[in-house]
């Protein structure tokens, strides 16, 4: 018989950003600062939504860039709200942008699924705030 695990359960965090360098930086700082986070990265919203449709119950936090080609963050949030209503997703959403004063960011922040704003580039303090958000 094996001993019970003393390791904290993992929080699954999705990072959605169309810029590879921003995606890489966010995933590295999350992994280094949040030891109990399983970070999954997506270069576009469509891929992230597809994963949420099949495994949305596993995801605890979505870190979402708003200004993206094809499906932008606002379109993602509308589709995500449908998944929530269907009971297929429960993650908190944090908007991730370098431009907090853009109209798109303001519109995203007023969406009921959005719980937090994260300015790019992320700092360790920001990651701690996200970890606190996960704990709620």
Could you read off the pLDDT of 62-86 as tens digits, one per residue? 999 999 998 999 999 999 999 999 9
Cα–Cα nearest to 15, from 93, 103, 80, 112: 93
* C-beta pairs of 114-118 under 8 Å, 24+ apart in sequence: 114/77, 116/92, 118/63, 118/94
Whether the CB-CB separation of 5 and 31 falls below 8 Å is answered with no
Percent of the chain surpassing pLDDT 70: 93
pTM for this model (two decimals): 0.89
What is the radius of gyration, based on Cα positions, of the chain? 15
Spatial separation of the C-alpha atoms in residues 85 and 97, rounded to whole Å: 26
Backbone torsions φ then ψ of 13, nearest 5 degrees = -120, 125
Whether the CB-CB separation of 37 and 31 falls below 8 Å is answered with yes
Spatial separation of the C-alpha atoms in residues 16 and 65, rounded to whole Å: 6
For residue 7, is pLDDT > 60?
no
**Residue range 11-29: mean pLDDT, rounded:** 94
End-to-end CA distance of the chain: 34
DSSP secondary structure letter of residue 3 = P
**Residue 2: band (very low, low, confident or very high) from pLDDT cuts 50, 70, 90:** very low
């Amino acid at each position: 018989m094996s001993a019970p695990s003393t390791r904290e359960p993992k929080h699954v965090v999705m990072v959605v950003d169309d810029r590879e360098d921003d995606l890489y930086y966010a995933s590295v700082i999350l992994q280094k600062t949040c030891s109990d986070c399983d970070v999954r990265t997506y270069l576009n919203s469509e891929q992230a939504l597809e994963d949420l449709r099949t495994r949305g119950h596993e995801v605890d936090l979505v870190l979402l860039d708003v200004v993206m080609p094809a499906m932008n963050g606002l379109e993602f949030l509308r589709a995500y709200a449908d998944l929530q209503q269907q009971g297929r997703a429960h993650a908190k959403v944090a908007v991730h942008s370098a431009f907090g004063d853009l109209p798109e960011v303001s519109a995203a922040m007023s969406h009921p699924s959005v719980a937090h704003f994260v300015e790019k580039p992320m700092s360790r303090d920001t990651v701690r705030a996200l970890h606190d958000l996960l704990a709620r």
